[in-house]
Amino acid sequence: MRHFSTVLNGSIISDGSILSVVNPATSEIFATYNQGRSEHVDLAVEAADEAFKTWKALPDTERVEKINALASLLESNMPELIQLVTQETGKPINGLNGVGSIMEVGASIAWTQYTGTLSLSNDLLEDSDAAHVEVVRQPLGVVASITPWNWPLMIAIWHVIPALRAGNTVVIKPSPLTPISTLRFVELANTILPPGVLNVVVGEGDVGQALTSHPKVSKIVFTGSTATGKHIMQSASSSLKRLTLELGGNDAGIVLPDADVDNIIEKLFTAAFHNNGQTCACLKRLYVHESIYDKVCQLLAERAKSVKVGNGLEEDIELGPLQNELQFNKVKQLVEQAVQDGARVLAGGQPIEGVGYFYQPTVLADVTNGMSIVDEEQFGPVLPIIKFSNVDQAIELANDSPYGLGASIWSSDVNQAQQIAQLIESGSVWINDHGAIQPNAPFGGLKQSGLGVEFGEYGLHEYVSLKTVKVCK
C-alpha cells in the first residue's frame, strides 16, 4: 500500500491519523495519507505567509520559469498521475470520447503552460506634463484553495497555477475522497518551488472551515457545491477575503427543430454522460422541440444502452462508477422519485449489481420542470429530456433555475442560436457543443453557480489587487 506524503513548508508532515482512499470501482483501498487538523492549517498558513515575502518580490520572469518547470514536471510524471486520478475518481483512463484521466492530466499541463504565457503588466493611464498615472497589479498574499472530488488534479491546477503566477502563495485542501493526485502534485512541485510557497492539508469540512476563516488568508478560491460555497462566503466575511466561487450547475441544452439530429447525438451524449455526469458543466437537462423529440430520445437511449461501463483501469471502458456512496444514493433516489412522478425510463434506471458504485446510464422522457430530476443537479449518469413547442418557452424553462453555469443551443441556424445565447442566463453558452472550455476564455457562473471567473487573463486578474500610483508634477 503506498502512502502519500503531506508537504507543508517544504517538509513532509507525518503526524495525524492515517486514513485510506478507496477506488470506487473496486471498493479496495489503494492508498493512505495523513489526516490534517486545524494545527496543520495554522502551520501551513504561517509558512505560506512567510514565503509570500520573497515569492512576491521575485521578478515575474522567474515565477514564469517555475511555472514552465512545473508543466514539464507534470509531463514527465504523466503516466503515474493518470493512474492515480483513475484510481481515486473511478474515471476511465481514456473515457467516453476521450474524456478521462489522460485528458485530465493533459489539460492540467496545457493550462499550466498557457498560464505561463499570460501578461501581468501594469497599465499606464497618463504620462503628461501634469501627471504620471499608473495602475499596478499586486499579489494578494496567502490564497486558500478548496477543491472537489470530480476533477481533483485539474481543478487544483486551475487554482494553484494562476495564484502562484501572480505572486501569491497557496494552501490547498483537496477533498478527502480524492486527495491523492493533489498530494503527489504538491510533493512534486515542492522539488521546484521554495518552501512554503505551496502547502497542502487534507481534511473534511472542519479543516476547510479553519482554512477559509484564517485571518492571514487573503483570498479563497473554491470549487464545489453551492451549499458549501455559501458557508465559505460566511467564513470569508470576517476579514473580507477576496473570493472566487465555482459552484454547482444545472446546465440546460436546447435542441431547435432545425438541428441535424444524426450528427449531434454523439456530442449530446458525451456532454451529458462524460465522467458519469459528474462534471459541473455537464449537460444536465435537455429541452428538445416536439417535432424531433421522439427521434432524439430514441437515439440517446440506444447510445446509453451501448456504453461500456466498468473499471476505468481496463481498456476501452467509457464510463466508470460514481465516485462515492453519497452521490450513488442521490442518483438512485432522484431516478426513483422521477419514475414515481411519471418519468418514462428509455434506458437504464437501476444500479448495476456487484462491487463498486456503478449505475446504468439512464435516459428519462416525459419529464418537466418542477420534477426534482430536472430542477436539481443530479451529478450522475442520468439525462432528463423535456419536450417544448416554441423557442420562447424553451428559453424560459432553461432560465427557470437558481443555477447559471453553462448552457447550449443546438441548431443549423447559427445566427438564430447566437441571438438565443444572448437571452440565456449562464456564464457560458456553447452552440452545437457543450462544456467546450478553453484556457483563454473566462469560465464562471451566474446566479448561484458562482462568483468571479477562472482562466486566461480574466482569471489571472482575480489573484491581484489594483493599485493606482499617481505622480503629480
Nearest residue to ligand NAD, by Cβ distance, number only: 208
Residue 135 CA to residue 157 CA, distance in Å, equals 28
Residue from 24, 141, 148, 257 touching ligand NAD (CB under 6 A): that is 148
* Count, residues near ligand NAD per rule CB under 6 A: 28
Q: How far is the CB of 174 from ligand NAD (least distance, A)?
A: 6
- The three three-digit cell numbers of residue 404, written as one number: 447559471
Which residues on neighbouring strands pair with residue 126, listed in sequence order? 133
Q: Which stretch binds ligand NAD (CB under 6 A): 66-74, 226-234, 347-355, 364-372?
A: 226-234
363 binds ligand NAD (CB under 6 A): no
Which residues on neighbouring strands pair with residue 220, listed in sequence order? 144, 243
Q: How far is the CB of 315 from ligand NAD (least distance, A)?
A: 27
State which of positions 388-427 bind ligand NAD (CB under 6 A): 405
Q: Which stretch binds ligand NAD (CB under 6 A): 99-107, 118-126, 145-153, 314-322?
A: 145-153
| Cβ neighbours around 252 below 10 Å, total | 30
134 catalytic? Reply is no
249 binds ligand NAD (CB under 6 A): yes
List, as one string, the DSSP characters of 179-211: -HHHHHHHHHHTTTSPTTSEEE----HHHHHHH
Q: Which stretch binds ligand NAD (CB under 6 A): 228-236, 298-306, 393-401, 413-421?
A: 228-236
Nearest to 283 by CA among 138, 139, 403: 403
Q: Which is nearer to ligand NAD, 112 or 223 (CB)?
A: 223
**Residue pair 213/102 in contact by the 8 Å Cβ criterion:** no
36 binds ligand NAD (CB under 6 A): no
Query: CA torsion sign, 103 to 109 to 115 to 118?
Result: negative
Residue from 209, 244, 275, 311 touching ligand NAD (CB under 6 A): that is 209
Q: How far is the CB of 369 from ligand NAD (least distance, A)?
A: 19
Q: Which of 104, 246, 318, 377 is catalytic?
A: 246
Q: Which stretch binds ligand NAD (CB under 6 A): 96-104, 222-230, 298-306, 417-425?
A: 222-230
Q: Which stretch binds ligand NAD (CB under 6 A): 45-53, 81-89, 244-252, 381-389?
A: 244-252
228 binds ligand NAD (CB under 6 A): yes
Note every long-range contact of 304-308, with CB atoms under 8 Å and residues 24 or more positions apart, other chains counting.
304/269, 304/273, 304/346, 304/347, 304/348, 304/360, 304/361, 304/362, 304/363, 304/383, 305/347, 305/348, 305/361, 307/96, 307/273, 307/361
Residue from 4, 379, 410, 463 touching ligand NAD (CB under 6 A): that is 379
Residue 88 CA to residue 186 CA, distance in Å, equals 16
Q: Using CB atoms within 10 A of its CB, is residue 393 exposed (0-12), middle (13-18) or buried (19+)?
A: exposed
**Residue pair 241/219 in contact by the 8 Å Cβ criterion:** yes
150 binds ligand NAD (CB under 6 A): yes
| Cβ neighbours around 448 below 10 Å, total | 20
Residue from 450, 459, 463, 464 touching ligand NAD (CB under 6 A): that is 450
**Residue ranges binding ligand NAD (CB under 6 A):** 146-150, 173, 175, 204-205, 208-209, 212, 223-225, 228, 231-232, 246-249, 280, 377, 379, 405, 445, 450
Which residues are tagged catalytic? 246
